[in-house]
Amino acid sequence: MDESGNNSIKADDPIIRIRDLVFCRGRRTILDGVSMDIQRGSIVAFMGPSGAGKTTILRLISGQLRPDEGTIEINGQLISAMSDRELKLFRRDIGVLLQDGALFTDLTVFENIATPIREHTSLPEPLVRRVVMSKLSAVGLGGTEDRMPHELSGGMARRIAFARSVVLDPDIMLYDEPLTGLDPIAVSTIRRLMRETNNALGLTSVIVTHNVNQISNLVDYCYIIASSRIAGEGAPRDLIDSSDPGVSQFMNGRVEGPIPFHYEPPGAPWRLLD
């Protein structure tokens, strides 16, 4: 706190600070005592078995869900204490790219990208067009502004969705399986865009993924989520070489290990929950 009683944010403070996070659905504990720091300007991956709670953390960070216990602070602001109006303003500084892109199927490429600008700002239309066209150019798809989503390939649609997610120059980007279902060329293109955009705009990016190979040359730090907790954390190369049985099993794709393939009911060790 500073002398006025407000949070004093230092440049080297984590942009996202999560402490003792607990989240439940009914009787099921999805996350149990999770704590993590995400540094400014970094690209961080949440990895782990399907249903381990990775996407749930993204929704908690964006304020779509509220924790049962613990805290999430972003830039010193306590997310769970925000009103609906405060959350709406806060989300302007967060970009989200979903696995399928989630483009509006009845809007052109231009209108898709322009939607966040019109929703959150009062920019005049000539400036809206300038911003949209600059983002299209940045993703290498200038000239597609009049196309409809069904006229795009999967890789093109993902790049358009990427352009829409960064059109307001957010502070934080949240990616939910952004590379799934793409061909190798599209994967390399999106991966390069993610890193270049992160560096150029000074973003902080959080990625949910299962694919170890895709993130090894992209992310700076990884958290592995399993059994409702953090099973391991570190740089990708360190985790691949980890001596921890669960971390090594996941990072190297081994069948045998403490992380089970089959669902185990609540109360069993290494249980996996949605």
Residues 163 and 133 sit within 8 Å (Cβ to Cβ): no
Predicted local distance difference test score (pLDDT) of residue 254: 65
Sites in the chain below the pLDDT cut of 70: 1-11, 101, 252-274
DSSP readout, 184-225? Answer: HHHHHHHHHHHHHHHHHHT-EEEEE-S-HHHHTTT-SEEEEE
- The CATH number given to 37-69+83-231 is 3.40.50.300
Phi-psi region of 82 (alpha: psi -120 to 50; beta: other; left: phi over 0): beta
Element (H, E) at 76: none
Identify the residue whose tokens are 């907790």: 229
CA angle 261, 267, 270 (to 5 degrees): 35
Strand partners of residue 174: 96, 206
Predicted local distance difference test score (pLDDT) of residue 272: 44
Sequence spans of domains, the chain: 37-69+83-231
Predicted local distance difference test score (pLDDT) of residue 144: 93
Closest CA to 53 of 264, 185, 260, 224: 224
Predicted local distance difference test score (pLDDT) of residue 270: 46
| Phi and psi torsions of 230, nearest 5° | -80, 115
Element (H, E) at 247: helix 245-251
Please give the DSSP secondary-structure letter assigned to residue 256: S
pLDDT, tens digit, 9 for 90 and up, residues 114-126:
999 998 889 999 9
Predicted local distance difference test score (pLDDT) of residue 265: 53
d(CA 194, CA 45): 13
Question: Angle 184-201/154-165 helices, nearest 10 degrees?
Answer: 10
